[in-house]
Amino acid sequence: MFAARQASKSVFGAVQRRTFSATASNATKVAVLGAAGGIGQPLSLLLKLNPRVTELALYDIKGAPGVAADISHINTKSTVKGYEPSGAGIKECLTGAEIVLIPAGVPRKPGMTRDDLFNTNASIVRDLAKAAADACPEANILVIANPVNSTVPITAEVFKSKGVYNPKRLFGVTTLDVVRASRFISQLKSTDPATENITVVGGHSGATIVPLLSQAGYTLEGAERDEYIKRVQFGGDEVVQAKGGAGSATLSMAMAGARFAESLLKAAQGQSGVVEPTYVDSPLYKDQGVTYFASQVELGPNGVEKIHPVGEMSEFEQGLLEVCLKDLKSNIEKGEKWVKENMGN
């Protein structure tokens, strides 16, 4: 009863607009890599509260068994196990996983761009992608580690090198941009944030984040418009500065990651019409050399079901998109070039 009620209500409120009749009876293993970190811990907590998850596998280079022991006392049915590099390690953590979330990697400090994380996080994501390609090649891979614009192409190249790449199963998590865009417009318009769902397209850094307010029927002008766009594009910086060197968004990101995982699970368990914005291998701007792009994506049992076109845009939004595509292309090429030269063994 508890599970059925939770499943139809959704932890994330109005985001889930359709009713859902399936129960959480399917066995579903979800793995979190980087589970002891700022995002990893609250994300694991939210997944433990999700009745669709039956097995939670938590991996980190340090601290995951402690996080797992703590979370495992929560009185929901799923089992929880923590893994470290020694012992059973990452292979056992990943084997049988249907969803793998990757928040492993260093966060920004004030003054840094997401691209400044590239040198450290590229190799972390590459190595975790290799482990996933070996242990659970058919899992849905959800990349959170920044710079997402580049770490997703890196993951794709690793899967391709092992002959197991399925573009329908690889997602850059850009949900936080939509969460922010929706919250910030609700503050300006005094609306209920739970009823806002602003489409955000492009990628996940600065000018590559393109909110399409016009599609929600909103028109902002002048300074108000510029401030709104800047706040959505640089919402991450707002948190980085407020945390003063102690990291970047963790709690709101955990919510966004859990929302995306929940949407994938709902779609996998048979619900139709589940649409989330996400950064995927996309045909939309391939003719301009932009091979990955975030737009509204319908999810299904096989992962990506349908990539929706970007749709109508104002002239101003069209201008934002042009800047986005230029940056995105170079972020993608950087990731692909690096991983081809640094594939390792």
Ligand X SMILES: O=C([O-])CC(=O)C(=O)O
With binding defined as CB under 6 A, does residue 268 bind ligand X?
no
At what angle are helices 148-161 and 118-135 packed, to 10 degrees? Answer: 40
Q: Are 293 and 284 in contact (CB under 8 A)?
A: yes
Q: Which of 103, 300, 303, 335 binds ligand NAI (CB under 6 A)?
A: 103
State the maximum Cα–Cα separation within the chain, in Å, rounded to a whole number.
Answer: 58
Residue 338 CA to residue 342 CA, distance in Å, equals 6
Shortest Å, Cβ 8 to ligand NAI: 28
Shortest Å, Cβ 341 to ligand NAI: 20
Nearer to ligand X, 7 or 320 (CB): 320
Q: Are 318 and 210 in contact (CB under 8 A)?
A: no
Q: Is 38 labelled a binding residue?
A: yes
Q: Is 57 labelled a binding residue?
A: no
Residue 250 CA to residue 42 CA, distance in Å, equals 8
Tokens describing residue 249: 């968004």
Residue 96's region, left for phi above 0, alpha for psi from -120 to 50, else beta, is left
Our answer to whether residue 308 is catalytic in this structure is: no
Shortest Å, Cβ 107 to ligand X: 6
Give start and end residues of each alpha helix (H) in 15-58. 40-48
Q: Are 216 and 184 in contact (CB under 8 A)?
A: no
Region 69-128 residues binding ligand X, contact defined as CB under 6 A: 107-108, 114
Q: Which of 30, 32, 56, 124 binds ligand NAI (CB under 6 A)?
A: 124
Closest CA to 196 of 172, 213, 173: 213
Q: Is 66 labelled a binding residue?
A: no
With binding defined as CB under 6 A, does residue 57 bind ligand NAI?
no
With binding defined as CB under 6 A, does residue 248 bind ligand NAI?
yes
With binding defined as CB under 6 A, does residue 82 bind ligand NAI?
no
* Active-site residue identified among 29, 48, 204, 266: 204
Nearer to ligand NAI, 77 or 230 (CB): 230
List the catalytic residues.
204
Chain residues that interact with ligand NAI, rule: CB under 6 A? 33-34, 36-40, 59-62, 103-108, 117, 121, 124, 127-128, 144-146, 148, 173, 176, 204, 247-250, 253
